[in-house]
Amino acid sequence: MNRRDALKRMITATSTVVILDAELRQWVDASPTRKSLEPVVKERILTPAHEVLRLRLVKEYIDKGTTFNVFRSLKIQNRDGSWPNIDYGDTLSLPWKPLQHLSWLREMAVAYHSSSHAAYHNPLVLQGIERGLNFWYTRNPQAYNSWFELIGKPLALGRILFIMLKELNADLAKAGSKHLYDVDNCPGPKGKLYPASTWKGANLVWVATQTIYRGIINQDNTDIQKGLNDVTKEIVITTEVEGIQPDFSFHQHNHQIYNGGYGLNYLTDVCKWAERLEQTEFAFKKDKINILTGLALVQSNCCAKNLT
């Protein structure tokens, strides 16, 4: 079976997103069978990889749904996009209070895209989200805790941006992407950057996720690949201080066994990326999947023992 026959069979037999190279893309456009394939081709052919990934991420949030009272939040939102009941000057509390602002904007974004929600495609909701983002960029609340400042805050912002990417003013989305980091440009104390070697395990995955989000928002596959390289380089068996050990225990913060906590977060987040990237040019290699499988089996055994 040649490539074209294989493609036709794939298109007619599956509902999976298909990523085409330039040669096949040209053939599909010129093919006399294009019209007969149109119903199944229309929404899942010729889709750039970054958009396939964005749509899969958006679907995760839409499927979860939201019961957030969007219109009440819009009613009390200040004209500058802030909310009167959030302490934006807080720097020390745990959880960090200003993060509530981004949480509400994300819920509004999910509601805007949920056909069963009263806020679905409501222009007032879009305006409220854009006001909220403009305020956030201008106010730029700061957290003393480095996890909230360098991980929690950027990740929360990135989720809003990729959900609303097609509706937001382009400048607003681009401005937001500048708040998303990679392992080489995380700001540290006294204006210096943290060394890339600072980031390990779950923390590395969280920073790399920002880089992937940035690539999606800017439609830049180079950024997506960089983030994924940072994620997958940790999926190795190591005898170093941190990471996946030969017995599939997971170490973080020196030689602490962290199959729960950081280890569970690491496994969950990396497995989600493996699933999101299936059948794209970014798909995980088989050796990485095998290592994650071993880690998952040990993780499940640990949980089972703790429950008995």
Q: What is the pLDDT of residue 14?
A: 40
17-29: average pLDDT? 47
Residue 6, pLDDT above cutoff 60: no
The average pLDDT across 4-20 equals 45
Higher-scoring residue by pLDDT: 115, 4: 115
For residue 96, is it left (φ>0), alpha (ψ between -120 and 50) or beta? Answer: beta
Give the count of beta carbons closer than 10 Å to the beta carbon of residue 260: 13
Q: Is the pLDDT of residue 36 over 60?
A: no
Cβ 174 vs Cβ 218: under 8 Å: yes
Nearest residue to 264 (alpha-carbon basis) of 199, 202, 308: 202
* pLDDT for the residue 237: 92
Element (H, E) at 252: strand 250-252
**Where is mean pLDDT largest: 148-152, 193-197, 293-297, 299-303?**
148-152
- Regarding predicted confidence, which is higher, 33 or 202? 202
What is residue 174's predicted lDDT score, i.e. its pLDDT?
96
Confidence tier at 308 by pLDDT (50, 70, 90): very low
Number of alpha carbons in the 13 Å side-chain half-sphere of residue 152: 19
b/e burial code for range 219-253 (CB count within 10 A of at least 16 → b)? eebebbbbbbebbbebbeeeeeebbbbeebbbbbe
* Per-residue pLDDT tens digits for 235-277: 999 888 788 899 888 888 777 787 777 888 888 999 999 999 9
> What are 170's two structure tokens?
């382009």
For the purposes of burial, counting CB atoms within 10 Å of the CB of 153, is it exposed (0-12), middle (13-18) or buried (19 or more)?
buried
Taking CA atoms, 121 is separated from 55, 170, 263, in Å, by 17, 18, 39
Res. 37: pLDDT tops 50: no
Q: What is the pLDDT of residues 127-148, one digit of tens each?
A: 999 999 999 999 999 999 999 9
Over residues 210-239, mean pLDDT: 94
Higher pLDDT, 94 or 3: 94
Inter-axis angle of helices 153-163 and 99-113, to 10 degrees?
Answer: 20
H or E segment to which residue 250 belongs? strand 250-252
Rg for the chain, CA atoms, rounded: 22
Burial of 149 (0-12, 13-18, 19+ CB in 10 A): middle
* Mean pLDDT of the 81-89 span: 97
What's the longest Cα–Cα distance across the chain? Answer: 64
Alpha helices in the chain (DSSP H): 3-13, 22-30, 34-41, 49-64, 70-76, 99-113, 123-139, 146-147, 153-163, 170-177, 201-217, 221-232, 262-276, 286-307
What is the average pLDDT across 196-209? 90
pLDDT reported for residue 56: 94
82 bridge partner residues: none
**Two structure tokens written together for 274:** 């493996």
Rounded Cα distance, 32 and 30, in Å: 7
Residue 72 CB contacts under 8 Å (≥ 6 apart), including other chains: none
Residue 18 has a pLDDT of: 43
Q: Is the dihedral of CA 279, 284, 289, 290 positive or negative?
A: positive
User: Average per-residue pLDDT in the chain?
Assistant: 85
